[in-house]
Amino acid sequence: MVDITLRVNGATCTGSPEARKTLADFLRDDLNLTGTHVGCEHGVCGACTVIVDGRAVRSCLMLAVQAADSEVTTIEGLAPDGGLGTVQQAMWDSHSFQCGFCTPGFVMQAVAFLSDHPDAGEQQIREALSGNICRCTGYQSIIDGVLLAAERSRKR
Amino acid sequence: MAGIAAERYTGASIKRSEDPRILTGAGRYVDDIKLPGMLHAAFVRSPLAHARVLSVDVSAARALPGVVAALTGAELEAMTVPGPDPLMALIGGAGPTPEFTLLATDKVRFMGDPVAIVIAESRYVAEDGCELVDAEYDDLPPVTNAAFALDPGSPPLFANLGDNIARPRSRSEFGDVSGTFADADSVVHFHIDVHRHQNVPMEGRGCVASYDASLGVMTVYAATQSVHVSRIAVATRLGIEHDKVRVLADDIGGSFGLKIGASREELAVAAASRLVGQPVKWVEDRSENLTASGQAREESFDVRAAVSNDGDLLGLDVKMVIDTGSYPGMGTMVPAIMEAMLPGPYKLAALGFESTAVITNKASYVAYRGPWASETFVRERVLDLIAKDLGLDPVEIRLRNVAPRTDPPALMITGRPLVGVTSKESLERVAQLVDFPAFRRRQAEARAQGRYLGIGVATFIEAAPGPRSPEGPSGPMGMEFMRLRLEENGIVALFTGQMPHGQSHQTTLAQIAADEFGVPFEQVRIVVGDTDVVPFGLTGGSRSATMTGGVALHGARQLKAKVLDFAAHLMEASAQDLLITDGNVWVRGDPASAIAVSEVARRAASGQFGADVDAKLEVEATFDGGEGGWSGGTHCAIVEVDVETGIVKVERYVAAEDCGALINPAVVEGQIRGGVAQGIGAVLLERSAYGEDGSFQSATFMDYLMPTACDVPRIEIEHLETVPLDADVNFRGVGEGGMIVAPPTVVNAIEDALSPFGVRIYEQHLPPARILELIAAADSGQ
Amino acid sequence: MKLPYVEYEAPTTVAEAIDLLAEHLDQASVLAGGQSLIPLLALRLARPAVLIDINGIDELSGVSATDGWVAIGAMTREYVAEKSESVADTVPLLAAALPLIGHEAIRSRGTIGGSLAHADPAAELPAVARALDAEFVVRGQSGERVVPAAQWFEGYLTTSRRPDELLLEVRFPTARRGTGISFQEVARRHGDFAIVGLAASLVFSGGVISDARLAFAGISDMPVRAAAAEDLLVGERPSTELFDEAARRATGDVDPPADLHGSSDYRNTVAAVMVRRGLRAAADNARERQ
């Protein structure tokens, strides 16, 4: 067991995970933040994507202990006071999702990507999201949501 | 306010009510469930494809700190009721059934076959415990292909069956097969293979089982397409009365046919939870999902086609073999559906069909979105192959063969009437949307530059639910039930046995009910996922648009009539003079009379009324599918094949589809696109690969390749004007169509791209290496 | 797919890390980015007794340019190297390969040193390092040594790093005037490992190829230089016939592995295609860079 302190969604959290526990499992089990989903546990599907110290990462490929003293944002931490952020709202408006299991990973990856590439076009967005797997939608509605979010952010 | 006409929700892409929770991480999937004292299960799985189990020693696992229990297959059999595969028992498969144990006992029959279950404080410790289980095996020769399974010399996987035939060869004939073939201008032969691939929902199988010994009640939180079917499976196997089993389901991360009933592992978890007296959770990891949850589509076809010199497809004679894997389940029933569907929307005059289902040392064949899809693959490939031989264009040959819409409707040679089928219109529409002559010019220019573009089309129909039949409800799996109730607070609640797992029922059914009843969309609540509360039902078979949409429509109408009868008392008016719009009940012509629906409900619940007034504002509705109908369409793909590397890109994809009236166009389009993506995945990327020794080789996402946002293009969808068949319910199902027709669409396009090389394609899986092999083989004249 | 039990150490200095490596030797795995190691642990294919997490050793990160070389600290994240102007300007072949590594989230954590110490023969960075004759600086208890790329890669997932040594940095030579580069790969999907990949670097002087480096990913158990093709190219002017012949020579004596994604023949065929396309692209790139 390793004692860690970290900030998650703006709040200071502590825990004593085993070193082998992934950040994904720590978030879900120890902090009860079950919005981050586990889809493959070998870093391919992207469902577990969270933002650590400003970068989108696969939380199944980080040990919880490696997130000590970091700033972590999960899907639960995106929206102010229970509302929806720009990306989330645009995805709702675009019918982006169906079963919703891949959704948190896509949202977090899209948020991270757009903050670095606010003017990205469709092909760039597709490449940026090609590391997230969705089985339900065929991706077009997700891409449309991200394009809409980018457009709305630019208008502000 | 009274006087404002209600918005019409049906037909509009209303935003989903599921999304606020989905988009904020507030969904509740089975792995999100935590119960006090909950333990975690993991399975020890066979590393061998076929072996006798000599011993399974769980003592070291039991001794590991944190492990609460470890059970072998034999121990689980002793605490459950022996019987056949519960899903098979429910559907009613013909013929002798193989032995069915929850975990392997004396034999393992596929790599990944579970042999022991370990229950521990965490999944981490449960997996540690699994590593300490000592299982000894005696290797047996594996049966890894249909040819060997058909050989009477192959070692039988099941002693009680004696051989590896799950369903003996059966033959049917429709029309004059021998005459049609004898008289045809030519008879051509093809052998066509479809490869093994699988559902791969992003959420695997799983459940949390919790047994309350004092009440004798087993509660299972499931990921399932039907809480009631799961309940039957659990109750039967565990020997618990049905009404003492409660199955609950919340959000489900996709299924595509996988999560129906209860798998062996889920039943084992339920039995184990009863034994240990604490809730037990099991959620399969991706390796388990790929290796053990089940696979689909491994079918081969010997096809003879009777053809006229002008391109009429007169008859088909098909011999099919389906590889149903090791614990044959619903796979044995797929050939019958294929046989019925093989003629498609065409004027086929004769069909001979025979099929054999074989048992092999692979994971079980399970239902995967459009389980009968290979009939469309075979038929649409055959049409293209014939067209090439005769120098006909793929749209032309289909238009020639498609049955015209007549009254009375043409009958498929296998019996069903092609009522309301718009296949011809869909072909014509695709030809308009995709300028074929312009493409052919571009194709020629590209070839001159050494680039290979191709175009392919394919047409299909789907019984979603299928036309009205004299035998009974047109829907697959029977009548649809719904309970509708006006709650005290004015909410119109619909209780349905549907179990949405991406289908957006929470939204679409509310659209229909809101329109019929006269309340705002937000005033309707869809209740699913609790066997104590919802009627029997199942989501699958592309049924819900018609069956559930229909029962919601008629049920809302019936509830409204009841509410108006009651309101008539309150308002001292005649029910016929009352309207409900925008959540208010009012007397026609007198807007000031309006009372909120919620007020009417409150009054009804107040208990002030005597027996002469029916204040119970609830109805039980049923729907048999009405006139039913077909869904279908034509898809078209334009691809580019890099003939030096074999890499295929889908450049453009167009779908002209007819699924009747649309409840929510965005939902319909999402279903189509998702299905098409799976079809593209099947052709270019996905294969459940077994070695000759039966070892499973695609157990991670690094080997089982899923299509990504760079593999699936924009899919242009055109909704055709449909033929209404029913006075009220013309919604037809659309869940499976994309996955049924996309594979032949893409393969037809690839063959067209490679036609300068003389390539002919008789298979569905075309990874880059295979493309180069096909080109090389054609070059060398094979 | 939960990780097995491991002991965990998190040194904060290179000296501490080396002491730990010396203590545990083959029983330890170094945890850098974790993008390769953690999946192996999750699948329980890797079973170290101890994880030595070097993410806390700040001195291991950084990109610095010196006299003809760019030195990249082993813990430098791939995304940092991707954004580095120094790398973009002076090691263009590395800059071309970096965006092909997995996906952005992988590059958020994955490190230059980690990828090169893991030495997956289908990965992009080993081919780049081999093409450019990069140098690997390792330090153990017996001191520091510099290993040229030709000696660094020894076999499948095997390098010449001794169990008690820590990879400190990798040095890439800066591109000379007249350089043209390309990184080609055939992958099943965007971001996947290469089925076959080619790192190519040509130097032109007066229109003549004065230096040629070709290193393959995916056709062997480690990155391999196409020496016979390189020899052919030096001293010649670019032409289709020259590049075709180079492709033949590059694939003449390779025996690529076979797996689910391609047979040995397929990889052979594609390797030749990569050479033709890579050389053309490198020649074009040389013209652009002028």
pLDDT digits 0-9 by tens, B196-224: 999 999 999 999 999 999 999 999 999 99
Nearest-angstrom CA–CA distance, B129 and C25? 27
- Please, where in chain C does CATH 3.30.43.10 lie? 7-53
Residue spans per domain, chain A: 4-77, 86-155
State yes or no: pLDDT of B1 exceeds 90. no
Whole-Å CA distances, C88 to B92, C78, C107: 66, 13, 16
Residues 107 through 146 of chain A touching chain B, CB cutoff 8 Å: 107, 125-127, 129-143
Q: Note whether B686 contacts A: Cβ–Cβ < 8 A.
A: no
Domain C7-53 matching CATH 3.30.43.10: the answer reads yes
B668-B673-B676 Cα angle (round to 5): 130
Instruction: Give B708 to chain C, closest Cα distance, Å.
Output: 8
The answer to whether B476 touches B443, Cβ cutoff 8 Å, is no
In chain C, CATH 3.30.465.10 covers 62-173
Q: Provide the pLDDT for residue B88.
A: 77
Strand, coil or helix: A108: helix
Does B708 reach chain A within 8 Å, measured CB to CB? Answer: yes
Q: Report pLDDT for B102.
A: 96
pLDDT of the residue at B99: 82
What confidence score (pLDDT) does residue B3 get?
A: 33
Which chains lie within 8 Å of chain A at 3 or more CB pairs, if any?
B, C
CATH class of residue range A86-155: mainly alpha
Taking CB atoms and an 8 Å limit, are B644 and C270 in contact across chains?
yes
User: Under CATH, what is the fold of the domain C62-173?
Assistant: 3.30.465
State the pLDDT at residue B7.
56
Structure tokens belonging to residue C181: 């580069």
Q: What Å distances lie between residue C258 and A144, B36, B95, C155, C220, CA to CA?
A: 39, 50, 43, 16, 10
Name all domains of chain B by residue range, CATH numbers in brackets.
19-26+479-623 (3.30.365.10), 33-140+205-252+259-292 (3.90.1170.50), 296-470+626-779 (3.30.365.10)
**Contact assignment for C108 to A55 by CB distance below 8 Å:** yes
Using the CB atoms, write b or e for B95-129: b if 16+ within 10 Å: eebbbbbbbbbebbbbbbbbbbbbbbebbbbbbbb
* Percentage, residues of chain B above pLDDT 90: 91
Chain B residues within 8 A of C41 when measuring between CB atoms: none
Q: Where are the alpha helices (DSSP H) in B140-193?
A: 146-150, 177-183
Closest CA to C177 of C159, C204, C143: C204
Q: What is the pLDDT of residue B170?
A: 81
C-alpha span between B96 and B656 (Å, rounded)? 44
- How far is residue B27's CA from residue A101's CA, in Å, rounded to a whole number? 8
For chain C positions 20-59, those within 8 Å of chain B (CB to CB) are 43-44
In this prediction, does ipTM exceed 0.90?
A: yes
The alpha carbon of residue B261 is apart from the nearest alpha carbon of chain A, in Å, by 19
Angle at the Cα of C29 (from C26 to C33), degrees rounded to 5? Answer: 160
Inter-chain CB proximity C2 and B769 less than 8 Å: no
- pLDDT value of position B95: 63
Tell me if the bond preceding B142 is cis, omega within 30° of 0. no
From the CB of residue B26, how many other CB atoms can be counted at a distance below 10 Å?
16
Look up the pTM and report it. Answer: 0.97
Task: Give C96-133 pLDDT, tens digit per residue.
Answer: 999 999 999 999 999 999 999 999 999 999 999 999 99
Tell me how many residue pairs between chain A and chain B have CB atoms under 8 A apart: 174
Asked whether residue B407 carries a pLDDT value surpassing 70, the answer given is: yes
Minimal CA–CA distance to B80: which of B234, B269, B237, B219? B237
- Min distance B253 CA to chain A CA atoms (Å): 5
Q: Is the pLDDT of residue B4 over 70?
A: no
> Which amino acid is located at C59 in the chain?
E
Looking at the predicted structure, is the pLDDT value of residue C253 above 90?
A: no
pLDDT at A51 over 70: yes
Out of C2, C261, C270, whose CB is closest to B127? Answer: C2
Domain with CATH 3.30.390.50 in chain C: 179-289
Average pLDDT of C232-244? 98
Half-sphere exposure of B26 (CA within 13 A, CB side): 14
Which among B259, B733, B663, B710 has a CA at the least distance from the CA of A99?
Answer: B259
pLDDT at C13 exceeding the cut of 50: yes
Mean pLDDT of chain B: 95
Q: Between B34, B678, B701, which is nearest A42 by CB?
A: B701
Task: Report how many Cβ contacts below 8 Å link chain B to chain C.
Answer: 57
Q: Decide if B685 and C188 are in contact by the 8 Å CB cutoff.
A: yes
**What is the model's pLDDT at position B475?**
53
Q: How far apart are CA B80 and CA B270, in angstroms?
A: 10
Cβ atoms B756, B452 nearer than 8 A: yes
Judged by CB atoms closer than 8 Å, whether chains meet at A135 and B200 is answered as yes
**Which option is the CATH number for A4-77: 3.40.190.10, 3.30.565.10, 3.10.20.30, 3.40.140.10?**
3.10.20.30
- The three-state secondary structure class of B660 is strand
**Statement: residue B591 has pLDDT above 60:** yes
Closest CB to C1 among B287, B685, B772? B287
> Which tens digit of pLDDT belongs to each residue from B643-694?
999 999 999 999 999 999 999 999 999 999 999 999 999 999 999 999 999 9
B230 DSSP β-pair partners:
none
Sheet with B648-658, strands from edge to edge, namely B452-467, B628-641, B648-658, B715-719
Q: What does the pLDDT look like over A27-46, one tens digit per residue? A: 999 999 999 999 999 999 99
- Does residue B465 have a cis bond before it (omega within 30 degrees)? yes
pLDDT in tens, B73-97: 999 999 999 988 877 777 766 667 7
- Listed in order, strand segments (DSSP E) in B468-571 are 480-486, 492-496, 524-527
- CATH code given to domain C179-289: 3.30.390.50
For B628: left if phi > 0, alpha if psi spans -120 to 50, otherwise beta; the answer is: left
